[in-house]
Amino acid sequence: MSRLVFVLNGPNLNLLGKRQPHIYGHETLADVERDCRELAKELNLDIRFHQSNREYELIDWIHEAREIAVGIVMNPAAFTHTSVAILDALNTFEPPVIEVHISNVHKREEFRHHSFVSKRADGVIAGFGTQGYLLGLRRVAKLVDEKKA
Ligand code: DQA
């Protein structure tokens, strides 16, 4: 049975490691992808890891995930706070969705406190740095295993 999880990253996360490192840390997105792949092996998950600065591309990946994935771990970045279109796309996806933010958005500017994606997410992780992605993968694996049992 498929154990494919999509790990999706929104705008500006391609600059992770260079972008405001005092907020987002020094790890690059390639480091995050490597760590996710390592953990996925341990959890017996397959992953597709994507980043885009374009809203439509993230939506297309969510549509693709509908057909083949058992979960989505997503850091929608700034689209978190603005995108009804991404919320609508996630609402078409039935398996677990975990929303990840590297920083603690609740400690930051007020406009970051609202998340459209949280209206769909089964779990939200914020402020755990890039470790949040790994916690998200562990949670999806657990929910998939529980569903099978
Ligand atoms: C972020 C938080 C968002 O508010 C911001 O726009 C990002 C990254 C995070 O990972 O902490 O780009 O999602």
Which element (helix H / strand E) includes 21? helix 21-24
| Probe residue for ligand 1, chosen from 20, 27, 79, 80 as the CB with the greatest number of ligand atoms within 8 Å | 80
Q: Closest ligand 1 atom, CA of 78?
A: 6
pLDDT tens column, 99-116:
999 999 999 999 999 999
Task: From the candidates 26, 56, 63, 101, give the one annotated as an active-site residue.
Answer: 101
List, as one string, the DSSP characters of 97-147.
Answer: EEEEESS-GGGS-GGGS--SGGGT-SEEEESSTTHHHHHHHHHHHHHHHHH
Q: Residues of the chain whose pLDDT is less than 70?
A: 1
Quote the pLDDT of residue 15: 95
What's the domain range around 49? Answer: 4-105+118-148
Confirm whether 35 is domain-assigned.
yes
Q: Around Cβ 38, how many Cβ atoms within 10 Å?
A: 11
Residue 142 lies in a domain: yes
Asked if residue 12 belongs to a domain, the reply is yes
Distance CA 137, CA 85 (A): 24
Structural domain includes residue 55: yes
Tokens 């999706």 belong to 8
Do the Cβ atoms of 87 and 116 come closer than 8 Å?
Answer: yes
Number of domains in the chain: 1
In a domain, 31, yes or no: yes
Q: What is the pTM of this model?
A: 0.97
Is 101 among the residues known to form the active site? Answer: yes
Tell me how far apart the terminal alpha carbons of the chain are, to the nearest angstrom.
14
**What span, in angstroms and rounded, lies between the C-alpha atoms of 16 and 28?**
5
Inside any domain, residue 111: no
Q: Tally the C-alpha atoms within 13 A of residue 93's C-alpha that lie toward its C-beta.
A: 31
pLDDT score, position 1: 61
> CA torsion 117→100→57→37, rounded to 10°?
-150
Give the CATH number for residue 47.
3.40.50.9100
Residue 123 lies in a domain: yes
